[in-house]
């Protein structure tokens, strides 16, 4: 290492950031789980907002003030309160960071409120999507060294990290998140970029379908934060509740976000992928699941549970099994056996009940008979949802990795393009 110094290890806690469309995972390397999972949206409202009665604090923005007159609201409790003219924005697009201004607000918040330590003390490892662009990688490198003055930095593909987290350096990683599902071959810790296959079917797609279905049933999806009180009603009876009154108009983007949360709760507790392609009769014979909405309305859900989730598998060229087989097929025949024998499942959406069994079945029907197929899916929900973060936590704390960091000195000597050499 050019600087002759070691970074990371116990003395200087390295930080791991794993950004996604659903959330940003942030915490200390070597720990088992991230310190925080922060929703990947930033609430932006004009400065000097009308004070809400519940908040008597002089400054109700949770990010230290900026020269502009905008206020930023980050993290669940701040986002879940409606505010006059507060619009919610995502800083992610296609799995990559798109809006750097909002992203920096998120980083400021992470250091101030989650890490509660100054950025120049900690080496930082960031995960990135397998198709991240060169210009974006360099931009992130520049921000981390210039603005946050990190002593060392590193970028690793999230799929490679998820493979590490599952004890593999070579694997076919199936990552099903909010906005997409991808099949990513990883060989000796490196992604085979030209064999990455992705589909736009993930958790957000399920939310969309579930929302359409619930609205077609005429269900009221008012989020719980807007409900002042509700009565207990009988199964399928019209809900009886009163709404909280606000002296201002609630923005559409806030309403859309909160409605999505309501549908996500439904999706996570009710949907299930059936073991074989959807069959009305089989689905109807499986016990129903009861669900109560924030309004107090409740009912049983039966075959629709399976019908909705089937969308993740029944698309001819977008189903999870199809993209997995396609990706493996794009790799050199010599390495296919190693990939098929280490199919790693990760991402929050892979937690939909029945997902791993169905993928396993679907993929085995597409696997050449001579090939041994083994699926590795962490049992714990934390390990599954935070696979890439956990892999980063492990990687950043191993001894032999310490010589890999790109140091501040290297950045100053070689510039941001050095990241493309250090972290291919």
Ligand X SMILES: Nc1ncnc2c1ncn2[C@@H]1O[C@H](COP(=O)(O)OP(=O)(O)OP(=O)(O)O)[C@@H](O)[C@H]1O
**Interacting residues with ligand X (CB under 6 A):** 20-23, 95, 177-180, 202-204, 264, 267-268, 347-349, 351-352, 381, 385
What are residue 87's DSSP bridge partners? 44
Beta carbon nearer to ligand X, 177 or 391: 177
Which CB, 21 or 137, lies closer to ligand X?
Answer: 21
Q: How far is the CB of 77 from ligand X (least distance, A)?
A: 19
222 binds, among ligand X, Mg ion, none (CB under 5 to 8 A by kind): none
Alpha helix (H) residue ranges in 188-333: 203-216, 252-270, 280-285, 304-309, 320-329
β-strand pairing of 289-292 with 171-176? unpaired
**Residues 254, 74, 59: CA angle, nearest 5 degrees:** 100
Whole-number minimum distance, CB 50 to ligand X, in Å? 33
How far apart (Å, rounded) are the C-alpha atoms in residues 69 and 72? Answer: 10
Which residue number places its CB atom closest to ligand X? 203
Query: Shortest distance, CB of residue 386 to ligand X, whole angstroms?
Result: 8
Residue 288 DSSP class: P
Element (H, E) at 406: strand 406-407
Q: How far is the CB of 357 from ligand X (least distance, A)?
A: 14
Tell me how far, at minimum, the Cβ of 347 lies from Mg ion, in Å: 5
Q: Which does 348 bind (CB under 5 to 8 A by kind): Mg ion, ligand X, none?
A: ligand X
For Mg ion, give the closer residue by CB, 168 or 385: 385
For Mg ion, give the closer residue by CB, 20 or 151.
20
Eight-class DSSP state of 62: S
Q: Which does 310 bind (CB under 5 to 8 A by kind): Mg ion, ligand X, none?
A: none
Minimum distance from residue 204 beta carbon to Mg ion (Å):
11
Q: Which does 264 bind (CB under 5 to 8 A by kind): ligand X, Mg ion, none?
A: ligand X
Are 249 and 278 in contact, with CB atoms under 8 Å apart?
Answer: no
**Measured from the CB atom, is 71 or 260 closer to ligand X?**
260
Give whichever of 95 and 223 is closer to ligand X, judged by the CB atom.
95
Instruction: Using CB atoms within 10 Å of the CB of residue 198, give its burial: 0 to 12 exposed, 13 to 18 middle, 19+ buried.
Output: buried
Least Å distance between CB 202 and ligand X?
A: 5
Q: Which residues contact 255 (CB under 8 A, 6 or more apart)?
A: none
SS3 81: coil
d(CA 242, CA 246): 12
Q: Which of Mg ion, ligand X, none binds 233 (CB below 5-8 Å, type-dependent)?
A: none
Q: Give the H or E element holding residue 77.
A: helix 76-79
Residues that bind Mg ion (CB under 5 A): 20, 177
Burial of residue 320, with CB atoms counted within 10 A of its CB: 0-12 exposed, 13-18 middle, 19 or more buried: buried
Cβ neighbours of residue 252 closer than 8 Å, sequence gap 6 or more = none
Q: What's the rounded Cα separation, in Å, for the pair 153 and 410? A: 10
Q: Which does 327 bind (CB under 5 to 8 A by kind): ligand X, Mg ion, none?
A: none
Residue nearest to Mg ion (CB): 177
Of 33 and 268, CB closest to ligand X = 268
- Minimum separation from the CB atom of position 389 to Mg ion (A): 10
CB nearer ligand X, residue 203 or residue 311: 203
């Amino acid at each position: 290492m050019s600087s002759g110094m070691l970074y990371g290890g116990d003395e200087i806690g390295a930080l791991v950031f794993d950004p996604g469309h659903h959330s940003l995972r942030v915490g200390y390397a070597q720990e088992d789980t991230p310190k925080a999972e922060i929703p990947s949206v930033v609430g932006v409202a004009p400065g000097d907002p009308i004070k809400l009665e519940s908040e008597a604090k002089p400054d109700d923005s949770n990010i230290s003030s900026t020269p502009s007159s905008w206020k930023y609201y980050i993290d669940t409790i701040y986002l879940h309160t409606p505010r006059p003219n507060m619009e919610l924005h995502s800083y992610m697009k296609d799995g990559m960071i798109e809006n750097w201004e909002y992203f920096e607000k998120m980083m400021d918040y992470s250091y101030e409120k989650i890490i509660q330590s100054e950025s120049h003390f900690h080496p930082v490892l960031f995960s990135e999507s397998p198709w991240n662009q060169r210009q974006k990688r360099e931009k992130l490198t520049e921000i981390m060294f210039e603005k946050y003055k990190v002593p060392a930095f590193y970028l690793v593909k999230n799929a490679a990290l998820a493979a590490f987290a599952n004890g593999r350096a070579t694997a076919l990683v199936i990552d099903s998140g909010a906005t997409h599902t991808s099949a990513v071959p990883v060989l000796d810790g490196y992604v085979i970029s030209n064999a990455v296959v992705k589909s736009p079917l993930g958790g957000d797609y399920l939310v969309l379908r579930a929302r359409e279905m619930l609205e077609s049933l005429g269900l009221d999806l008012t989020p719980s934060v807007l409900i002042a009180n509700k009565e207990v009603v009988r199964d399928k009876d019209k809900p009886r509740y009163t709404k909280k009154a606000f002296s201002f108009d609630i923005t559409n983007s806030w309403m859309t976000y909160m409605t999505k949360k309501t549908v996500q709760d439904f999706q996570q507790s009710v949907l299930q992928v059936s073991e074989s392609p959807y069959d009305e009769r089989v689905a109807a014979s499986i016990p129903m699941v009861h669900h109560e909405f924030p309004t107090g309305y409740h009912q049983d859900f039966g075959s629709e549970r399976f019908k909705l989730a089937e969308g993740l598998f029944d698309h001819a060229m977008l189903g999870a099994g199809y993209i997995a087989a396609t990706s493996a097929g794009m790799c050199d025949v010599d390495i296919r056996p190693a990939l098929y024998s280490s199919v790693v499942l990760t991402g929050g959406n892979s937690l939909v009940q029945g997902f791993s069994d169905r993928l396993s079945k679907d993929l085995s029907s597409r696997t050449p008979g001579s090939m041994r197929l083994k699926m590795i899916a962490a049992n714990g929900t934390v390990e599954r949802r935070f696979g890439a973060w956990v892999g980063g936590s492990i990687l950043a704390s191993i001894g032999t990795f310490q010589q890999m960091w790109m140091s501040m000195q290297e950045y100053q000597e070689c510039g941001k393009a050095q990241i493309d050499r250090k972290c291919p």
